[in-house]
Amino acid sequence: MTILHKAILSAIVSTLLASAAAWADDAPAPAAPALTGHVDLVSRYVLRGITSTYGPGAALGNAGADAPESDKPALQWGADWNDPSGLYLGYFGAMINYSYQRLGDSYSDRGISDFQSKKSVENDLYGGYNGKLGDFGYTVGMTGYVYLNGSHANALETKLALTYGDFTLAAQTLLKDVVWGNKGDTYWTLNYVKPLPHDITLTTSLGYYTYTKEGQFLGSVDHALGVACPAGQSFIDNGCLPGGKPSSRGFRHLIVGITQPIATTGLTWGLQGIVGGDNRYGVKQKNQLVATLSYGF
């Protein structure tokens, strides 16, 4: 999702709601709106800390359907509904600067080389339940990923999270082999959100992955042709490339960001520093600075 990860945005909302509950002993707090929306402009769309490449090391670049999701400014948008019972639903959309349809079709049609036509639009539909157990909060939910102009890209992902104070530990597990992940891949995050003076909010996210090493589209075997990659090469979507071998786990990112509303305009500016970890092939990702401008309603 957005460069302000959904996990971080969710943690910000949880912190604000918890603060409102604490204030209730002193004065009645206004009810939070059940439905909110946002439109965002991001300087680039970096998904889960992958700033350089999804592959084993070949310099494919964004024109070759490689990371990041967009290497230029991108528009994003979404809406969230939260019920006092704890139920929640949401939608997130984003522009992507290449085509998941062309990328997915290239798995069986190796003649495809143009990944800039039929560019994709990401659509995330998510929902679940937020509850409390004593001093702990918990989330049980699921996200469906649907791509306009996509092939072998749509999938479901479960979400389990535990919150204590300003910290949230979450695990999101993929349920299907797709061009961007293998069934069983689990994205772990430890998020910390803290309101600061002058309406500034500090957000941090430590990311880690446990991977399924072999899948239909990612690993060391070209399942479409039924052959293993040569020694020293790994398979990614449509071919064997030289570089790192599939890994079972790895540090993914450290993200530190701040956001601040701009007076009463409804606009919020943000800045994030991404300390890059490794992708699923053990390839180190470069560090990145990303800016955001969001309008909430």
Specify the CATH number for the domain of residue 258: 2.40.160.40
Give the residue with greater pLDDT, 269 vs 30: 269
The one-letter amino acid at 152: H
Q: Count Cα atoms within 13 angstroms, Cβ side, for 141.
A: 25
Residue 238 lies in a domain: yes
Would you state the pLDDT for residue 33?
Answer: 64
Would you state the pLDDT for residue 1?
Answer: 52
Residue 1 lies in a domain: no
Residue 152 lies in a domain: yes
Domain count for the chain:
1
Mean pLDDT of the chain: 91
Percent of the chain with pLDDT strictly greater than 90: 87
Would you state the pLDDT for residue 7?
Answer: 47
Query: Could you give the dihedral angle defined by the CA atoms of residues 279, 283, 284 and 289, in that order, rounded to the nearest 10 degrees?
Result: -50
**Does residue 10 carry a pLDDT above 60?**
no
Distances (CA, A) of 95 to 11, 74, 220: 24, 6, 30
Domain hosting residue 66, numbered range? 6-296
Structure confidence by residue, pLDDT tens digits, 130-168 = 999 999 999 999 999 999 999 999 999 999 999 999 999
Q: Count Cα atoms within 13 angstroms, Cβ side, for 32.
A: 18
Is residue 78 within 8 Å of 35, Cβ to Cβ? no
pTM of the model: 0.89
**Does residue 4 carry a pLDDT above 60?**
no
Residue 216 lies in a domain: yes
Residue 23 lies in a domain: yes
Residue 209 lies in a domain: yes
Residue 65 lies in a domain: yes
Q: 3-class DSSP state for residue 84?
A: coil
Would you state the pLDDT for residue 277?
Answer: 98
Residue 187 lies in a domain: yes
Structure confidence by residue, pLDDT tens digits, 211-233 = 999 999 999 999 999 999 999 99
